[in-house]
Amino acid sequence: MAFNPDFDLFQLPEEYRELRDSIRGLAEQQIAPYAAAVDADERFPDEALTALNDSGFNAIHVGEAYGGQGADSLAAVIVIEEVARVCGASSLIPAVNKLGTMGLILSGSEELKQQVLPDIANGAMASYALTEREAGSDAGGMKTKAVHDGDHWVLNGSKCFITNGGKSTWYTVMAVTDPEAGANGISAFMVHKDDPGFRVGGLEHKLGIKGSPTAELYFEDCQIPADRIIGAQGTGFKTALATLDHTRPTIGAQALGIAQGAFDAAVEYVKERKQFGKPIAAFQNTQFMLADMKMKIDAARLMIYTAASNAERGEAEGGEKLGLLAAGSKTFASDIAMQVTTDAVQLLGGYGYTRDFPVERMMRDAKITQIYEGTNQVCRMVMGRQILT
């Protein structure tokens, strides 16, 4: 972000402000009208996918060499924030496309990148498969295995809570290749939806983000070509952690957008709603609640943008510890999202508890941001360790 001496404010450079205007217009016109129905019917937001694919916002992070826009991390979080402002489920299209390909971008061979990334840039989706029933926060306890067999790897096991499972074409999958090596025995692979032995199981029935399917994946003697391993054998766990350092700010951006959408709806409502002969916006209690909500959102935005901008620098170039900023910004923004959306429901009173207004959906959608891509408790552990290192 740049310092503007004329206004004594930090402002985004013009190209990012133009990007915000563009994605906001698209979100309001082509995604927002369907958000309530997507939630109520628990259906995938096909309208959002079409709009994002047509505009190139579906995977803005993919490099130009692979047919993408090559946008940086700050641009990616702005896109996710603006989509989440109107529909949390739809924001998982660009967010999870980045999550599902970040390990490949960081550690994959050029040949594998050329195989996968143009497909994503052209509208295919990617997902990230790390979690298992008995290995959630303890990812090192995973049981899914991969065995090298000639010119193939053979995978057996299952993954759960996979965002956009069944809708994606490509899956980054973590599996044990050396059971005796602990975390250093985990490797990362790219699995295609048509690979023999791969199938998608049933969907979870969730509190929020109901338009984004959350599925279980099964690998039953699933054969994939040997060159679909990401990086060297045994580096998968490191790839997984590095991925999260880059993508936790995107979940923070989702939380931020949801909070901003709820705040906007609350402001509009309190200006119109009258009690005791005047708009409830005239009451000091209402103004104090709005002021607190605004301060929290603005603080979260600065943390998210700082973490995203730092991803392009890294410690080698004088940046802060990426993991510390990523975990902190995601945790703070998601906690704020729950506080702000809950206050928005309170400001709307009984109407806030109904589906006639979007704030109840936003409150439900916000909750997951405190849980996935590292629970906020785990993120605090990550921060504590890096602070003390």
Neighbours of 315 (CB within 10 A): 11
Pairing status of strand 126-129 against strand 170-176: parallel
Q: Whole-angstrom Cα distance, residue 61 to residue 249? A: 14
Beta-bridge partner residues of 154: 147, 223
Q: Which residue has the tokens 């935005």?
A: 301
3-class secondary-structure state, position 307: helix
Exposed, middle or buried, 53 (CB in 10 Å: 0-12/13-18/19+)?
Answer: middle
147 backbone dihedrals φ, ψ, rounded to 5°: -120, 130
**Cβ-based neighbours of 121, under 8 Å, separated by 6 or more:** 59, 62, 66, 67, 68
- Provide DSSP, 96-148: HHHHHHHHHHHH--HHHHHHHHHHHHTT--EEEE--BTTBSS-GGG---EEEE
The residue type found at 292 is D
Catalytic residue among 82, 132, 216, 373: 373
The answer to whether the CB of 33 falls within 8 A of the CB of 75 is: no
Q: What is the DSSP letter of 109?
A: -
Q: What is the H or E stretch that residue 288 is in? A: helix 284-311
**Cβ-based neighbours of 330, under 8 Å, separated by 6 or more:** 248, 249, 251, 252, 255, 307, 369, 373, 374, 376, 379
Q: Is 134 an annotated catalytic residue?
A: no
- In terms of Cα–Cα distance, which of 276, 296, 277 is closest to 343? 296
Catalytically active residues are: 373
